């Protein structure tokens, strides 16, 4: 697999990050994950804009203009010739003295790498998946800026470990105030009384590119969309729940995994079937990106 490493393409085995890179030492960096369809990176402009925004939020200089990053991304895709894939763009602080002072980190490290698109069986979209509301809470915005897509992912990793132990496809995190925030790698939507609800940005979530696309598509269909503070009890009473991210698009949730008195239980979302809003928006999203199945 060919990887773009700093100034050019190389083999994966040759892409070696310094042990004093602050990305390796401290998770000091940002990244973006894009879906590639028919060799084309989807929503590349939006992802590059968020990459730059993430850098700004953690005061990480990004010396390359968006047009240059876009060209490097396309060269990486052409070198690997994968039709359906995932492209990850990673920028770390770069090498510097050990310690939290970043002033002597002069040169950021840029990595772009591609891998095949994960296999999401059609049954997941037709039958829905299980999500678990985990005990791990979303970091408070005053601790880490949620709009920075940081390579420091320990919060999500711990939540994902909980979800896996519960046999769930995804873990859903609450914030410190008890409101629904987001999934470990996804944004969350719910349907109640015919309205499409999603956590407000003030709840401490990273507003995904796909989340924004789904909101636009829903409003185009005449669906009322509200960004709200949603308690767990309100969330549990939703008639529909679905998740969004760049790789699977719209993923319906038909079951919750919960722990009651130390034992795992499964509870239905609504009637336990994929709902009409999730079906409609999944179909509209697939059309928007040119995927038909």
Q: 2-116 architecture in CATH?
A: 2-Layer Sandwich (3.30)
In the chain, beta strands by DSSP E: 2-5, 8-11, 29-37, 40-41, 84-92, 109-116, 129-133, 170-174, 180-183, 187-192, 195-199, 225-228, 240-245, 249-260, 263-268
- What CA–CA distance (Å, rounded) separates 151 from 132? 23
What is this structure's pTM?
0.93
Selection from 49, 46, 67 nearest residue 57 by Cα: 49
- What CA–CA distance (Å, rounded) separates 170 from 82? 27
| List of residues 6+ apart from 176 with CB closer than 8 A | 137, 138, 140
Average pLDDT per run of 10 along the chain, which is 293 residues long? 95 95 97 96 96 97 96 97 96 97 96 96 96 95 94 96 96 97 98 96 96 97 97 94 97 89 81 97 93 53
- What CA–CA distance (Å, rounded) separates 248 from 120? 7
**Domain coordinates in residue numbering, the chain:** 2-116, 122-289
Beta-bridge partners for 150? 30
- What CA–CA distance (Å, rounded) separates 268 from 257? 9
Element containing residue 156 per DSSP (H, E): helix 154-165
Number of neighbouring beta carbons within 10 Å of residue 42: 21
- Token pair listed for 49: 């804009």
Please give the pLDDT value at position 141: 93
Selection from 149, 142, 192, 199 nearest residue 174 by Cα: 199
Sign of CA dihedral 189, 207, 22, 85: positive
| Contact (CB, 8 A) for 242 and 255 | no
- Token pair listed for 26: 């401290």
Q: Fold for 122-289, please state it.
A: D-amino Acid Aminotransferase; Chain A, domain 2 (3.20.10)
Beta-bridge partners for 197? 190, 226
Number of neighbouring beta carbons within 10 Å of residue 178: 12
| Contact (CB, 8 A) for 184 and 163 | yes
- What CA–CA distance (Å, rounded) separates 42 from 164? 29
Please give the pLDDT value at position 291: 63
- What CA–CA distance (Å, rounded) separates 45 from 110? 18
């Amino acid at each position: 697999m060919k990887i773009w490493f700093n100034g050019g393409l190389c083999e994966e085995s040759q892409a070696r990050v310094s042990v004093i890179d602050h990305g390796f030492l401290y998770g000091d960096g940002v990244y973006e994950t894009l879906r590639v369809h028919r060799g084309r990176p989807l929503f590349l402009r939006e992802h590059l804009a968020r990459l730059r925004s993430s850098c700004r939020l953690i005061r990480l200089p990004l010396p390359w203009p968006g047009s240059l990053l876009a060209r490097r991304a396309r060269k990486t895709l052409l070198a690997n010739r994968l039709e359906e894939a995932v492209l990850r763009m990673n920028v770390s602080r770069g090498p510097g003295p050990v310690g939290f002072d970043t002033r002597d980190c002069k040169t950021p490290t840029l990595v772009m790498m591609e891998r095949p698109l994960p296999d999401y069986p059609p049954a997941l979209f037709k039958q829905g998946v299980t999500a678990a509301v985990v005990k791990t809470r979303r970091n408070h915005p005053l601790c880490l800026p949620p709009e920075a897509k940081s390579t420091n992912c320990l919060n999500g990793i711990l939540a994902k470990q909980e979800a896996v132990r519960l046999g769930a496809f995804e873990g859903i995190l609450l914030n410190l105030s008890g409101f629904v925030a987001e999934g470990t790698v996804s944004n969350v939507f719910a349907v109640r009384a015919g309205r499409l609800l999603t956590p407000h940005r003030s709840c401490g979530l990273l507003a995904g590119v796909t989340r924004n696309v789904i909101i636009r598509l829903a409003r185009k269909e005449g669906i009322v969309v509200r960004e709200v503070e949603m308690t767990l009890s309100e969330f549990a009473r939703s008639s529909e729940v679905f998740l969004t991210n760049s790789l699977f698009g719209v993923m319906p949730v038909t079951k919750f995994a919960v722990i009651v008195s130390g034992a795992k239980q499964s509870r239905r979302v609504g009637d336990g079937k994929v709902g009409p809003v999730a079906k409609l928006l999944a179909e509209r999203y697939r059309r928007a990106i040119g995927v038909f199945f």
